[in-house]
Structure 1
């Protein structure tokens, strides 16, 4: 199939992708061909959702900003200290967090207290692009390192692998791209990440009302995908 992802170098071999992330990326290809996306469309921040799932006394924006900054600092340090000289780095890219939002995870929720809120978004680095989920408040669960857990992101379910860093705490990641040599620059990588998140964050109710064949076409990037994204 012709590669429609804007900003990707044409190659005979694709990066390795899990099945569901690959379908989502294929579905995002049509979106990436749209001028609005090429200009750098913004991910939806979901302020109304923040209000519903977090108490008024808390500061979700501050907690989210702090955790995202900590995540970026962590992986900048990993790039500098652990990845120096490793040939999988794309020198045209840098560490950047894209589209992180608080999200309610029903698998770990406490209905009485409002549950545990995590942040979900995409982390772009010179050597991978991952969907990442992390608690808004630091959690240290070393037993989850390397453990796979399925969790929803928007209308789709993904398998996340648990991780832990002493300087950061626990998080989990789902690989989208690795390595990253297909991306010609940072703008292309970030545009892809934003398009994937836009696809995933179509309201679940709207997706369920769509007939199954059209929904499959949307995720697989077929002709009906353009109308769905718009």
Structure 2
């Protein structure tokens, strides 16, 4: 899957507006919120051959890999909360269907929740950018045989953060 050349922007600004509103209206003061983080859409790219936008949404309460339709093809059929598997150059990952009125249907793969392991917004956003690079990179020597799925958090470099977050839960 190759990102298209015109992949700047996409759903990022809309996701930021919607999730900033959710943060203001529903998340203030909750213990799972990391006040050092902000809502940012990171690294969104249009995968023209798949008809999808893919990127990472960082919020003060989660970091999710997000997939939205680019309007040329619908997302796989799945009711909200149902899971589907999507394949990327780095492997296959399980996504959950979600929907927010202003955004519409989307698929998400949780990378970290809660996100207390990130000391500041810059670290979280840098990690999100690294996730996007790893997601779209095929493993060395994987041209002939599909690589085994090492798990989304292990492959995407969030194993330490995820283990720390899960241990605290």
Q: Give the TM-score normalised by structure 1.
A: 0.56
| Aligned ranges 1:88-99 → 2 under 5 Å | 88-99=32-43
State the shift of 1:137 in Å.
3.0
| Over 6 Å off, 4+ runs | 138-142, 210-213
Aligned residues: 152
Q: Distance in 2 between matches of 1:165 and 1:142?
A: 16
Q: Does 1:103 align with 2:37?
A: no
Q: Give the TM-score normalised by structure 2.
A: 0.74
Q: Higher strand share goes to which structure?
A: 2
Q: Does 1:70 align with 2:14?
A: yes
Structure 1 residues 207, 129: closer, same or farther in 2, change over 3 A?
A: farther
Secondary structure in structure 1 of the residue aligned to 2:11: helix
State the shift of 1:202 in Å.
1.6
Q: Does 1:181 align with 2:125?
A: no
Q: Does 1:158 align with 2:123?
A: no
- Conserved? CA contact 1:154–1:202, under 8 Å: yes
State the shift of 1:143 in Å.
5.8
- Conserved? CA contact 1:140–1:169, under 8 Å: no
Whichever of the two has the greater Rg, that structure is: 1
Partner of 1:86: 30
